[in-house]
Amino acid sequence: MAEGVDRKIGEFETFVQQTLPRELEKVLEQRDGVYEKMAQYLQLKNIIERLQESGNKELKTEIDLGCNFYVQAKVPDSSMIYVSVGYGFFVELTFPEALRFIERKSLQLTEAAEKLSKDAAKIKSHIRMVLEALYELQGFRDLPAENQREIF
């Protein structure tokens, strides 16, 4: 029986040290990607609002050609804007249409970020549960409160 318990303890230790941290890291990276997209859409929203406030159809700007090499550009009519809608597709929209799209996309991204945050919390709770199971299997009692620490 002790051999079976030792084997089970080894399996739990492997699970908590290798599998769960990788899953947690993957979920947190996905959430960071969603937050990055949200920031990009927020930046686009601010630019559109500034363009609407200016009222000028003509726009002078600098364009990055790559490797931080910028050139000046002149846009004769800036009443329409191309917005990435996903999967490599861009749609030409008016400013009000673009703002509505950004609002909907932001809600969608917020929901995705919340789901990923909940998934991360579940993984953290699984880590905690497995650690407590290991303590129990090894015959340890709960650690005193002053010796306990956060897992992550």
Overall pTM > 0.85: no
Asked if residues 60 and 72 have their Cβ atoms less than 8 Å apart, the reply is yes
Domain that holds residue 80: 2-139
Asked if residues 12 and 137 have their Cβ atoms less than 8 Å apart, the reply is yes
**Is 144 a member of any domain?**
no
**Is 24 a member of any domain?**
yes
**Is 146 a member of any domain?**
no
**Is 150 a member of any domain?**
no
**Is 64 a member of any domain?**
yes
Query: What is the domain count for the chain?
Result: 1
Query: pLDDT digit string (tens) for 19-59?
Result: 888 999 999 999 999 999 999 999 999 999 998 888 888 88
Rounded to 5 degrees, what are φ and ψ at 33?
A: -65, -40
Query: pLDDT digit string (tens) for 100-132?
Result: 999 999 999 999 999 999 999 999 988 888 888
**Is 25 a member of any domain?**
yes
- Per residue, the 3-state secondary structure of the chain, as one string, reads CHHHHHHHHHHHHHHHHHHHHHHHHHHHHHHHHHHHHHHHHHHHHHHHHHHHHHCCCCEEEEEECCCCCEEEEEECCCCEEEEEEECCEEEEEEHHHHHHHHHHHHHHHHHHHHHHHHHHHHHHHHHHHHHHHHHHHCCCCCCCHHHCCCCC
Asked if residues 48 and 148 have their Cβ atoms less than 8 Å apart, the reply is no
Domain CATH code at residue 12: 1.10.287.370
The pLDDT of residue 129: 84
Q: What's the CA gap between 142 and 62, in Å, rounded?
A: 62
The pLDDT of residue 104: 96
